[in-house]
Structure 1
Amino acid sequence: MTATSTPLIQVAELQSALGATDPPALLDVRWQLGGPPGAEEYAAGHLPGAHYLDLDHDLAEAPGAAGRHPLPDPKRLGEALRRAGVSAGRSVVVYDAGPATSAARAWWLLRWAGHGDVRVLDGGLAAWRAAGLPESTEPPAAAEGDFEPAPGRLPTLDADGAAELARTGLLLDARAGERYRGEVEPVDPRAGHIPGAVSAPTTDNLTADGHFRPAAELAARFDALGVAGRAVGVYCGSGVTAAHELLALEVAGHPGAALYPGSWSEWSGQPQRPAATGAQPG
């Protein structure tokens, strides 16, 4: 499989790639906030040949002052990726249960760490199952890749940078609208949003069946949000669903937006940082 201009791969293309002489490294990164451990779901059935990576332990540091899912230590990330067969010259496909929230985090991390050929299975495991394709309950044979992370290949923001971008560019809040408005806050210290941020829930990137909307529809969505010609950053609760927004932006033809990894979980834990509530102006 060779790199393409899209960060997504469809089920039929992945099925074909997995049967080739040079199949991609396949990563199962199922995770959900407050849900059952992804490893249990992986053991119950996964795409044949997929290695499991744990978002909390492999794709993030421990929660703390920097938020609920700080960026992982590059050395530890590299060890986990190599154990899953990731090599610099081998393409990678990541998936989750759908709709690609945690898979997008893995996609973004690999790109941030310098891997240039990474795609997300559009629709995730749900789409694979809908196509009637086989699953396995057996872990794949041990693998050892050679990928060495070189972090910093994609832009990031710290809290001060996010505040500045909300004033001078466009800072998108990828959480559900009710969390943006401060009506509910299930996990973080305070409700609300970063002043000046614009609500852009990741659910609006998707069709009813959990696939990404076509590129033209996503482009129209982000144009309506004012992306064109502006510096763009994205945050969410802890830097996971924000990666989904960054993936959608790339599908729409707007690569290069920055991630605020600490996101609201970091911002809301700093009492000196203001919190806005209610709907955005206009």
Structure 2
Amino acid sequence: MTYRELLRKGQIELTGMAEAKVDAMLLFEYVTGFDRMKLITDGGLECSPDVEASYLSLIGKRKEHVPVQYIMGYTYFYGRRFYVTKDVLIPRFDTEILVSSALDCMDGREKILDMCTGSGCIAITVALEKSNTCVIAADISMAALEVAKANASKLLADVTYVQSDLFEHIDGRYDMIISNPPYIESAVIESLDPAVKDMEPRLALDGGMDGLDIYRRLVFDATSHLEDDGILILEIGYNQGEALSALLTENGFEDIEVIKDLAGLDRVVKGVYRRNRCLTD
């Protein structure tokens, strides 16, 4: 079998799955080392039985709805390669919008907390993009923290990790708190692609009946852990901008802004907590 025929077989095996051709090509590159140009020039060469077996084995895993990123053990975020396992949510482009929005308003803010860090992609990116920051990252899952620590080590990012159920073990105040918490409504999860609902950690997906359970706790407790003029910035679901804006207002935040993604959907909300004003009002 030639390399070109092998790729075609993988594409056929994945027929009917979302992104079948893309996933087949990603796994092909992972196993063979062939990029698209090499496929053009050398695709007619015969591949070894071992290569064929390895590739089709991974195609079989993808047919069982295992995400390509878990199969390969990595994904890319903000131009960097991150190690991922089934213990962490796979970083997505939506979260790059959260990070970009946070970086845009970070000047002069040095002490940063990333809550619900997962793979560590947010904390690590902030630490590398803003070298003058002191970044703390927290997660309830020790398994997730081990993944995050491995990523920080590989990418040479100076991040301190804390196992904590939200703010349970968090001390001090921060200039900015960033979070991509679980925000999908419990009833909606069963309608998601099997690669998400059955493979990614439910703990990182399930936001309760209305998707706002973690936000309520996080926003309330954040007021005790933000410096004066501290910023809370959160990734949100496409239909949660109004609800999160109201929640921030109820908890004393000002200058609230909802930021949209490239599709024009609500994706990030941020607010400023003016501690001294709130304490004197």
Q: TM-score, normalised by structure 1?
A: 0.27
Higher share in helix: 2
Larger Rg computed on CA atoms:
2
Q: TM-score, normalised by structure 2?
A: 0.27
Higher share in strand: 2
